Each structure stands twice: as C-alpha cells, then as structure tokens.
Amino acid sequence: MTAAEARERAAAMLADGGIVLTSAEQEAIEVADFGLGDLERWGLQIVVYVNTERVCAKELVMFPGQACPEHRHPPVEGELGKEETFRVRRGLVRLHIGGDEIALRPGDQHTIPPDTLHWFQAGEDGAIVSEFSTRSRDDLDVFTDPRVVR
C-alpha cells in the first residue's frame, strides 16, 4: 500500500464515519509509516485540525490491524510532555499502557499522561480516533524500537 493509497482509503473511512473534511484537508492527510516501510502493520493516517503552542486536535484513522509503535512524549524545554486523550469514534482500538491493555470502543476514551509509554492497535474493522492534546511535536517523541523514524 502506497502513501497515496493509504490517504485515499483514510479519506473514504472518514467520509463513511460521517466526519466532514474540506478537500484541502483530505489532500493533506498525513500518512505516517514510522520509517518501517510496512503500512499494513505499522502506520497511522492523521488529520491535524489544529496544533498551536497550547492545543492540538487530530483525527487518527487506522486500517484493520494497523498499529502505532510504542512511544512516549518526553518533557520539552522545562514543560511537561504531551498529554493526550484518545476518544474512539468508530471501530475498536486496543491501547497498551503501563502493562495494561484497554479496549476502547465508540464512545470510550482514555487520557495518557505525559512521558508514559504506550502503543495501540486497531481491531479487524479499523478505527477512527479523535485525539485531544497539548501541542504536538512528533519529532520529539521517543520510540522504543530504534528503527522508528518519525
């Protein structure tokens, strides 16, 4: 699956899920493969609604079985790391955090404290997840797998 194919598939899933994007937003969907070159397994499709100094909001689209590798959001320049709340809109997401696995279905959400290792995987129908957080600085995320490039 190429990035362009992933983008198109994510746009279709969002439309199916009743989430309206402008055409500019559809074209700007970010496809993250985490440098692992295996989008079927490791990847996220991301719509960034807003990302200011203080607030960030995104939709994350995940294909069936697709996962985001384990990482944490460290403190930056004396500020706490990113705090994020995942709210599942469609599908199932298994969130792995602190040794626990939390199954999140539509209407379920979980807040991940700063600097806390976590990873998550979509169920067999894929998923749409709203993420509400402090400022997002993806390049500063710390991944457990040293092969990951963000």
Residue 83 binds to its own copies (criterion: CB under 8 A): yes
String of contacts with its own copies for each residue 11-30, x by CB under 8 A = ------xxxxxx--x-----
Is 41 or 135 the residue whose CB approaches its own copies more closely? 135
Helix, strand or coil for residue 24? helix
Provide long-range contacts, Cβ within 8 A and 24+ apart, for 23-30: 29/61
**Minimum Å distance from CB 125 to its own copies?**
14
SS3 of the chain: helix, strand, coil, percent, to 5: 15, 45, 40
Residues 96 and 122: their CA atoms lie apart, in Å, by: 11
x/- contact string, 120-149, with its own copies (CB under 8 A)? Answer: ----------x-xxx---------------
CB of 118 to its own copies, least distance (A): 16
Query: What is the phi/psi pair of residue 85, to 5°?
Result: -110, 125
- Residues that bind its own copies (rule: CB under 8 A) add up to a total of 28
Distance, in Å, from the CA atom of 145 to the CA atom of 35, rounded to the nearest integer, reads 11
Residue ranges that bind its own copies, judged by CB under 8 A: 17-22, 25, 49-50, 52, 54-57, 80, 83, 85, 87, 89, 106-109, 111, 130, 132-134
